Amino acid sequence: MNEFEAIDRMAALLPERPDDVLVSIGDDCAVFRIGEERWVAAADMLVSGRHFLPAADPEDVGYKAVAVNVSDAAAMGARPRFVLTSAAAPNSETALACFRGVAAACREFGVYPLGGDTTGSDALVVDVAILGVLDGEPVLRSGARAGDLIAVTGELGASEAGLLALTEGIGGFERLKERHRRPEPRLEAGLVAARSGAGAMIDLSDGLASDLRHICRASGVGATVHLERLPLADDTRKLASLLRREPEQLAATGGEDFELLVTGSEAALKRIERASGIPVTPIGEVTVGDDVAFLLNGERIEGLSGWDHFET
C-alpha cells in the first residue's frame, strides 16, 4: 500500500460530511463555512531525515513548516491567517530554535500562531496546521478542462538542486540551497489566480510529475507537458550538469518547489502574471482522456514520478 492508496482508504473511513464542510479531504485544503465566511484548513508534517536533513538548522525547519502550509492555502486562493504548530524535539533548545523559525515565517507571511504543542522525541518532527480565509471561490484541483493551458509560477527544480548540492557536499550554489531551506510560497500569485479565472490549482510539493496527476485525476482529464518549456534557472541547470542529471527531468520530479501549477486560458494566465509580478510559464495543455504525457522535444519520457512518503 503506497501513500495514495492509504489516503484513499482513510477517506473511506470518514464520518458523514457536515453541511458546513464544502470541500473535504483530497484538495490542498479543506473548505468550510463559518457564518458568512469561507475558510480553508490544512496540515503538513515535516520529519527529520525524510523532509529535511538531520543536520538541518531547526530554525530553518520551523520556517519551512509554516511556508509549506502557506503554500497550501495559496493553492486554494486563500489568505492564510492562523497556524497551530507542534514540535517534538530532542531538547527544549531545539524546540525553541524551531519556534524562532516559525515566528519568523509568521511575520513574513502575515500569519498568527494561535498555539500548538511542544514535546520530547529522539528526532525533530514539526507539524503545522493552517487556517486561511477566502475572498471568493476556492480554486480546486478539479477545475481543469480540456483545452486549458497548464502553467507554473516562478522556476522549477531549484529546491531539488539545492538539496542535491547539500547532500552531495557541493560547495557554492547558495541560492539553490536557500530555496530548499526556506521556500517562498506564492501567496500573492495564489490570491491573484483566484480572482483572475484560474481553472484548477495545486502547489508543487511532491514534484510536477506527481502533482499534475492529482489535478488530472480530480478533474477527469489528461495532460501533455513539454519538458523543454519548464522554467529552469541557470544555476539549476549548472548543478544538474555537474551531477550528470538531465535538468528537465530533475525539475519535473524534484519535490518542494512550492510553486503553483495553474490551468486556464492564455488570457487568464497573462492576467495572473501581470497582477502578481511573478513569471507564469505555460508548459503544456489539458487534454481529453486520462493520459498524462511528458514530452522532451517531442519524444515521450516514461516513468517520471514524484515523492511517495512511504517509499524507502
Least distance to a copy of itself from the beta carbon of 159, Å?
17
What amino acid occupies position 160? E
> Which DSSP string corresponds to 165-234?
HHHTT----HHHHHHHHS----HHHHHHHHHTT---EEE-SS-HHHHHHHHHHHHT-EEEEEGGGS---H
CB nearer a copy of itself, residue 121 or residue 305: 121
Judged by DSSP in three states, 141 sits in helix
User: Binding to a copy of itself by residue 14, rule CB under 8 A?
Assistant: yes
CB-CB contact of 79 with 135 (8 Å): yes
What single-letter amino acid sits at 78?
A
Count of residues near a copy of itself by CB under 8 A: 68
| 8 Å CB contact between 87 and 95 | yes
Among 127, 148, 259, 273, binds a copy of itself (CB under 8 A): 127
- Separation between Cα atoms, residue 267 and residue 265, nearest integer Å: 5
Decide if residue 19 touches a copy of itself (CB under 8 A): no
Binding to a copy of itself by residue 312, rule CB under 8 A?
yes
Q: Please state, in angstroms and rounded to a whole number, the distance separating the CA atoms of residues 79 and 20.
A: 19
- Distance, CA of 91 to CA of 171 (rounded, Å): 30
**Residue in 19, 28, 79 with CA at minimum distance from that of residue 211:** 28
Name the residue nearer to a copy of itself (CB basis): 93 or 266: 93
87 touching a copy of itself, by CB under 8 A: yes
Q: Which residues are annotated as a binding site for Mg(2+)?
A: 28, 44, 72, 117, 203, 206
Which of 53, 57, 82, 279 binds a copy of itself (CB under 8 A)? It is 82
Cβ of residue 119: shortest distance to a copy of itself, in angstroms?
Answer: 4
Point out the annotated binding site.
Answer: 28, 44, 51, 72, 116-117, 141, 203, 205-206, 256, 307
Closest to a copy of itself by CB, 109 vs 173, is 109
Contact, 252 vs 175, CB < 8 A? no
Judged by CB under 8 A, does residue 135 bind a copy of itself?
A: no
Q: Which of residues 107, 135, 175, 228 is near a copy of itself by CB under 8 A?
A: 107
- Please identify, using beta-carbon distances, which residue of 59 and 273 lies nearer to a copy of itself: 59
Q: What is the residue type of 255?
A: G
What does the alpha-carbon distance between residue 284 and residue 224 come to, in Å, rounded to a whole number?
5
- Whether 134 and 40 have beta carbons less than 8 Å apart is answered as yes
- Contact residues: a copy of itself, CB under 8 A: 1-3, 5-7, 9-10, 13-15, 17-18, 21, 24-25, 29-30, 32, 34-37, 39, 41-45, 47, 50-51, 81-82, 84-88, 91-93, 95-96, 99-100, 103, 106-107, 112-123, 125, 127, 129, 131, 309-310, 312
